[in-house]
Structure 1
């Protein structure tokens, strides 16, 4: 394909660029100037676009299969209902230009099997399985009996290990339970481990500024994950929880609402990436009237400090990757898949340049997987041909990322899955 402008993901744009792709291998076979292509590539079918770049990542998303994001509803939802809803979410994710996701608790790992089988369309999913949380912490549905919560995660309250994969939450207390919980998620297929190192906004009876888990529990989670090459993503709002997670060796801090200069400098020292999830507060503030009063109050408070924390991290030089914390499966909801691309624009409001924001949404996001980092996120020879294209220059107008309709083309593994002239649903349609 020919592009007036190619944004490679990391580095300066290339103008009057050509990119060759192999549909058979799904990889990029040529990157360079249009004037330098050989006769074989010159004779190949061609698409001409204004601006070409790597497919986006959302490295903090949830496919829960429920419309109302409520912990008891998530736990009690029937798997068939959840799966049907997630299929729509996968499609909307892809149509927003997001070709890869890191799911930090949800049923994406299980539902992705249908994408690989060719039944439905969707992004490549790298997932955590269930998020690890302490009893009384952010993984609790406190209005349900504890036995119900335990049983739905594949564990009873006596510690017996049943089938994993029934819940997006895993309660684990003490060093040995934390160790087993990591192993359970790896058995489920997790390529990353998520731990709640502080309280959360959505859960009842919690303050996001308070830390969860002891230093010993956090260390065993990180160490156990590292033995199997997995990095750890730490949900952490409060300062002390962030510091504890960074010192324990996590790879990313998710949210980071109370980051100050001291914390940001510590993150730089330890090479920890921030995933600020700006979209969740941006969109959540538009629907406060549909939230429980205690949740709405916490969200308003977090929104007031989180943007300042994000700007501080950018100014100090913390590495940034982009994720939204999208969690609803109702396509009419602002918190549903299909809105991930807006996170790129919001990153520029925190001080990233347009090129830095795109890098954060592509290769930086991929690199949060550590040893599992795939060849996705760069327009580079031999890398996966996950690409998107615009009819205009996003570097001149980053608001193009606010509306997914501005992303005119999407290629997934070299195959065109979105185009102004064709609808590719269901898979295999022509």
Structure 2
């Protein structure tokens, strides 16, 4: 199907830059859905939108559309929704270009070029699955973003940290390689960047901004997939984290903290970080700790008072528990310990009203892998299992998501006048069963910036 467009010419009003009588063409088209899910708010039966160029101009009941849209042709989809967001992804070619997530071959000369080539297909699969925007918290898609922005590559909007900031010996360090190799790779544009002390941390943020990062990622705790550090260990001092946050905010960007253990979560909140990734130890014991170190009564209240968002990344955790093949035994032990904790504590966070945005930690380029790019909507199913309604889960993957970007947040994730025209058409009602969205074939249409990228043949 091809979407027909209605073009209206309007006179420019600034006389100084345009010759008298110069006109600009506004291209409008409409989309009508049996059900419209706006991202924030209640669904509308027989709802519709009008898109003007790259923006949504009008949303409402189709039967009550303004008369000025009588000349606009509306095209039909079953269900109309905002484009989905994945707030935590990694594009690095792993699973195809490199055998495992920490393969030493990914540090060799030419490896980033190969990873970038593999990532082109990953980005297309992500968009075809209905994800019109992603926040990449370490990876190579951020370096491909100019090509997507300028139209010669196809993919979602990419908001990338490019690298993860880590202490030496921390989660972003590769413990099986010489330290000099890891540092040199970071300096050359690799996906992790080591910094120690306030001055190095400040310089690291400035380096990422210079490279084009649209957000900053920091590892405030140890990790699961890194070999020698413990997820419960605290990483970076309070002064280091505060320096990272202060420098990031000077450029209007926001920090995301890889924070699994409770010490790392609390340190991130104290520093003013607004996006907590994983948050596996967000439990009642941490709630008591937050009472002892601050004025709030519970961690949930602390997170809400701090204006922070939890991105729990349930998809990768459950997937790796089912199939941890390829990882060494110390990592497998950590996976088996962490997943049951996160199940319980994710439930607790939802019960306490912590703001949630959904991210998957997707990283694999093999389309057959459980955490392959394009399977991102699996995260919705875990949100519902943890206590969200389907409508709340969709809001967490649409309307809530841009807020993790702070002042650089786009007007996106909602079907609302003045917002980006990032929309998807779905073959059935996902509110009946969100698993319906996990099959990309059920996403029949994808518009990004008002341009149609996917439709039935």
TM value normalised by structure 2:
0.87
For 1:101, which of 127, 134, 137 is the aligned residue? 134
The structure with more radius of gyration: 2
Is the contact made by 1:197 and 1:235 (CA closer than 8 Å) also made in structure 2?
yes
Distance (whole Å) between structure 1 residues aligned to residue 326 and residue 227 of structure 2:
15
What secondary structure, in the 3-state scheme, does the structure 2 residue paired with 1:295 have? helix
Is the contact made by 2:116 and 2:141 (CA closer than 8 Å) also made in structure 1?
no
For 1:240, which of 263, 266, 270 is the aligned residue? 263
Query: Offset of 1:153 from its aligned partner?
Result: 1.1
1:34 is aligned to 62
Is the contact made by 1:394 and 1:401 (CA closer than 8 Å) also made in structure 2?
yes
2:107 is aligned to 75
Is 2:114 the counterpart of 1:86?
Answer: no
For residues 142-221 of structure 1, the aligned pairs below 5 Å read 142-154=175-187, 166-221=189-244
2:293 is aligned to none
Is the contact made by 1:235 and 1:253 (CA closer than 8 Å) also made in structure 2?
yes
Distance (whole Å) between structure 1 residues aligned to residue 136 and residue 205 of structure 2:
16
For residues 8-407 of structure 1, the aligned pairs below 5 Å read 8-22=38-52, 25-39=53-67, 41-67=69-95, 68-70=100-102, 72-76=104-108, 78-154=111-187, 166-261=189-284, 262=287, 263-407=299-443
Q: Deviations over 1:175-216 (max 9, x none)?
A: 111111011111111121110000011111111111111111
Query: Offset of 1:401 from its aligned partner?
Result: 2.2
Q: Deviations over 1:216-236 (max 9, x none)?
A: 111111111111111110000
Query: Offset of 1:39 from its aligned partner?
Result: 4.9
What secondary structure, in the 3-state scheme, does the structure 2 residue paired with 1:209 have? coil
Is the contact made by 1:197 and 1:241 (CA closer than 8 Å) also made in structure 2?
yes
Is the contact made by 1:66 and 1:73 (CA closer than 8 Å) also made in structure 2?
no
Is the contact made by 1:260 and 1:312 (CA closer than 8 Å) also made in structure 2?
yes
Distance (whole Å) between structure 1 residues aligned to residue 379 and residue 386 of structure 2:
11
Aligned length: 409
1:413 is aligned to 449
2:24 is aligned to none
Please give the root-mean-square deviation of Cα atoms over the aligned residues, in Å. 1.4
Query: Offset of 1:118 from its aligned partner?
Result: 2.2
Q: Deviations over 1:94-123 (max 9, x none)?
A: 011100011111111111122123222100
Could you tell me which runs of 5 or more consecutive residues in structure 1 were left unpaired when the two chains were aligned.
Answer: 155-162, 422-430
Query: Offset of 1:47 from its aligned partner?
Result: 1.8
What secondary structure, in the 3-state scheme, does the structure 2 residue paired with 1:195 have? strand
Q: Structure 1 39/269 Cα, relative in aligned 2: closer, same or farther at 3 Å?
A: closer
Is the contact made by 2:105 and 2:111 (CA closer than 8 Å) also made in structure 1?
no
Is the contact made by 2:358 and 2:401 (CA closer than 8 Å) also made in structure 1?
yes
Q: Deviations over 1:308-347 (max 9, x none)?
A: 1111111111000010001122223222210111112221
Is the contact made by 2:278 and 2:310 (CA closer than 8 Å) also made in structure 1?
yes
Query: Offset of 1:275 from its aligned partner?
Result: 0.1
Q: Structure 1 208/395 Cα, relative in aligned 2: closer, same or farther at 3 Å?
A: same
What secondary structure, in the 3-state scheme, does the structure 2 residue paired with 1:374 have? coil
Distance (whole Å) between structure 2 residues aligned to residue 316 and residue 248 of structure 1:
22
Could you tell me which runs of 5 or more consecutive residues in structure 2 were left unpaired when the two chains were aligned.
Answer: 1-30, 288-298
What secondary structure, in the 3-state scheme, does the structure 2 residue paired with 1:28 have? strand
Distance (whole Å) between structure 2 residues aligned to residue 43 and residue 297 of structure 1:
63
1:6 is aligned to 36
Q: Deviations over 1:261-290 (max 9, x none)?
A: 413332122121000001111221232133
Query: Offset of 1:71 from its aligned partner?
Result: 5.3
What secondary structure, in the 3-state scheme, does the structure 1 residue paired with 2:347 have? helix
Distance (whole Å) between structure 2 residues aligned to residue 273 and residue 353 of structure 1:
18
What secondary structure, in the 3-state scheme, does the structure 1 residue paired with 2:354 have? coil
Is the contact made by 2:351 and 2:387 (CA closer than 8 Å) also made in structure 1?
yes
Distance (whole Å) between structure 2 residues aligned to residue 192 and residue 418 of structure 1:
28
TM value normalised by structure 1:
0.92
What secondary structure, in the 3-state scheme, does the structure 2 residue paired with 1:363 have? coil
Distance (whole Å) between structure 2 residues aligned to residue 392 and residue 247 of structure 1:
44
Q: Deviations over 1:124-168 (max 9, x none)?
A: 0011111100000011111111111111111xxxxxxxx5xx211
Is the contact made by 1:71 and 1:140 (CA closer than 8 Å) also made in structure 2?
no
Is the contact made by 2:135 and 2:158 (CA closer than 8 Å) also made in structure 1?
yes
What secondary structure, in the 3-state scheme, does the structure 2 residue paired with 1:382 have? coil
